[in-house]
């Protein structure tokens, strides 16, 4: 009986972790960027209209950086950064313009980066100026 309970608890724990690997990736990317000198000023920024969301907003020197974090458990379905398609870029730009306007930052002083997080085998890649 106890064995059945332990197996059931293990299944539930794995399901909870699988559903939350995006959050794990964002936490890893947050620490990764801080160690490289970035100052994180916002996480999960949403526009009031709901038309876009930015995972991380950071300052790197004089540049305001909008960071999309993509996390995958493995490369079975391709590299994480390949999931940032034209539609996703459109929504990111919408949210970034909103944030920059509210913060009073000129658009020329901004940049879009992607942090690609692979959990198995562990790998993290910072793609600067990813939308150029």
Of the candidates 20, 115, 14, the residue with the CA atom closest to the CA atom of residue 58: 115
Kindly report, residue by residue over 42-75, the tens digit of the pLDDT.
999 998 888 889 999 999 999 999 999 999 888 8
Query: Per-residue pLDDT for 12 more than 90?
Result: no
Kindly report, residue by residue over 81-125, the tens digit of the pLDDT.
888 999 999 999 999 999 999 999 999 999 999 999 998 888 999
122: three-class secondary structure by DSSP? coil
Give, in words, the CATH class of 24-127.
alpha beta
Of the candidates 56, 114, 106, the residue with the CA atom closest to the CA atom of residue 85: 114
Whole-structure pTM over 0.85, yes or no?
no
Structure tokens at 26: 């964002």
Domain residue ranges in the chain: 24-127
DSSP bridge pairs for 116: 70, 125
For tokens 């944030």, name the residue: 99
């Amino acid at each position: 009986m106890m064995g059945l309970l332990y197996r059931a608890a293990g299944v539930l724990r794995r399901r909870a972790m699988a559903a939350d690997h995006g959050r794990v990736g964002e936490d890893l990317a947050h620490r990764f960027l801080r160690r490289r000198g970035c100052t994180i000023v916002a996480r999960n920024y949403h526009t009031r209209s709901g038309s876009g969301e930015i995972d991380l907003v950071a300052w790197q020197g004089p540049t305001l950086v909008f960071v999309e974090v993509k996390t995958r458990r493995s490369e079975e379905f391709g590299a994480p950064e390949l999931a940032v398609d034209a539609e996703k870029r459109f929504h990111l730009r919408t949210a970034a313009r909103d944030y920059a306007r509210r913060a009073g930052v000129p658009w020329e002083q901004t940049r879009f980066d992607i942090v690609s997080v692979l959990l198995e085998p562990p790998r993290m890649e910072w793609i600067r100026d990813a939308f150029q």
